[in-house]
Structure 1
Amino acid sequence: QAVLVGTHSGLSAGEEGATQQMNQDVALMRSLPGMSVMVPSDYPSSSFMAGIACGHPGPVYLRLGRDEIPDIGILDESEMRIGGG
């Protein structure tokens, strides 16, 4: 089991220039056999997905942004699972 956490994903570090932007990380991680990719939408889903990732038997990539975002309040934990996109 391995949980990889990427921060400052996408264009969230845009002011730091192109060398700091992580645009192909999802494509790279999806190309790895058995890798699951999780992209939470806000803090509650980030926290919940971290717990799911730690309990998953295979490798997981948890993609986090840098920007502060409001809680969108639609977390339904009963339906959240790896592979449930």
Structure 2
Amino acid sequence: MQDEKIWPDTTDDDLWTAARADIDAKYPGRFSEEYIRDAFERTCAKFDDYVPLSRFLKKLRVVCLWERPLVPDEILFPDE
């Protein structure tokens, strides 16, 4: 199933379920469902053609881990 080609569509419930399950399996409890959904939508936007599911899931993991929003200074340094 990992080599099957998929169309990255944000309205595809089966793809969303597979993506969420993959992130939960690799990083249990690390990301909220809202964050995973946002990363899923950003990952879908990066592709404009069919792509192997394994490549899509790998890109989703990269987006979750490396394309996180920066934490505002007010949160990091509340006393300043």
Fold conserved between structures, TM > 0.5: no
Higher strand residue share: 1
Q: Quick check: which has more Rg, 1 or 2?
A: 2
